[in-house]
């Protein structure tokens, strides 16, 4: 007879949002917490993913998402800490999209976000300042083949605050990579977005349990206020 020590996959009828709320109400993990210096890493705040009035690929979860991001980015600048904006974009032949760009080929497809296009442009509601770091990435994580790691080392950053979209895609990939590189990783829940609620809440739950501190954006604001 086999003794079950662990657990088989559970399906108790709760929605992804209910599971998230239960996890947040009954934390089972210690927080990583904030360190001494942080960077705000804002992922893919570009028209292709934020302008629900223009593109089918765009999504919105919290209508105040960009407002919250602008606020904590301003606090970081005032404290002399880096603010980073990433976006995705590709060459005309999509050769730099790699195999990721081979699954579909429609006007809305990932690899058809061309450099300099409206889909590639940052959302004009984002308060991007001249001193902020901006770069185009080609894969989900903002760390993959970008200057982000060297920038964080230069600024002596020990904490990465990840915002943006999608929660289940590029935000998650960036947060996992941040933890993998030894950074305390913070995801303010109101600053992320996804196309489907189930994706959004399930991935916030998984991030909270494994890779990051998922916190209200007020926690980030309070951290700056306490300095």
Q: How far, in Å, CA of 49 to CA of 57, rounded?
A: 6
204 Cβ neighbours under 8 A, 6+ residues apart: 20, 167, 187, 189, 192, 214
Helix or strand holding residue 121 (H, E):
none
123 Cβ neighbours under 8 A, 6+ residues apart: 45, 46, 47, 50, 51, 66
170 is catalytic: yes
Under a CB-based contact definition with an 8 Å cutoff, are residues 14 and 198 in contact?
Answer: no
Q: How far, in Å, CA of 81 to CA of 160, rounded?
A: 11
The residue from 66, 69, 160, 170 that is catalytic is 170
Extract the tokens encoding 74: 């301003």
How far is CA 114 from each of CA 51, 173, 178, rounded to the nearest angstrom? 16, 22, 27
Catalytic residues: 170
């Amino acid at each position: 007879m086999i003794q079950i020590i662990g657990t088989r996959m559970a399906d108790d009828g709760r929605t992804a949002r209910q599971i998230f709320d239960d996890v947040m109400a009954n934390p089972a993990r210690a927080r990583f917490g904030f360190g001494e210096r942080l960077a705000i890493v804002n992922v893919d705040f570009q028209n292709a993913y934020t302008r629900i009035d223009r593109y089918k690929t765009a999504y919105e979860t919290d209508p105040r998402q960009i407002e919250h991001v602008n606020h904590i980015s301003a606090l970081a600048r005032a404290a002399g800490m880096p603010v980073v904006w990433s976006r995705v974009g590709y060459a005309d032949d999509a050769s730099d999209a790699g195999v990721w760009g081979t699954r579909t080929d429609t006007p809305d497809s990932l690899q058809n976000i061309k450099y300099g296009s409206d889909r590639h442009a940052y959302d004009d509601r984002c308060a991007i300042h001249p001193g902020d770091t901006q770069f185009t990435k080609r894969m989900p994580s903002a760390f993959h083949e970008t200057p982000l790691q060297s920038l964080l080392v230069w600024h002596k950053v020990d904490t990465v605050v990840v915002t943006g979209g999608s929660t289940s895609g590029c935000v998650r990939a960036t947060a996992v990579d941040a933890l993998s590189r030894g950074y305390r990783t913070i995801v303010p829940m109101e600053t992320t977005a996804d196309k489907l609620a189930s994706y959004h809440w399930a991935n916030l739950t998984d991030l909270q349990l494994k890779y990051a501190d998922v916190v209200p954006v007020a926690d980030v604001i309070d951290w700056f206020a306490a300095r």
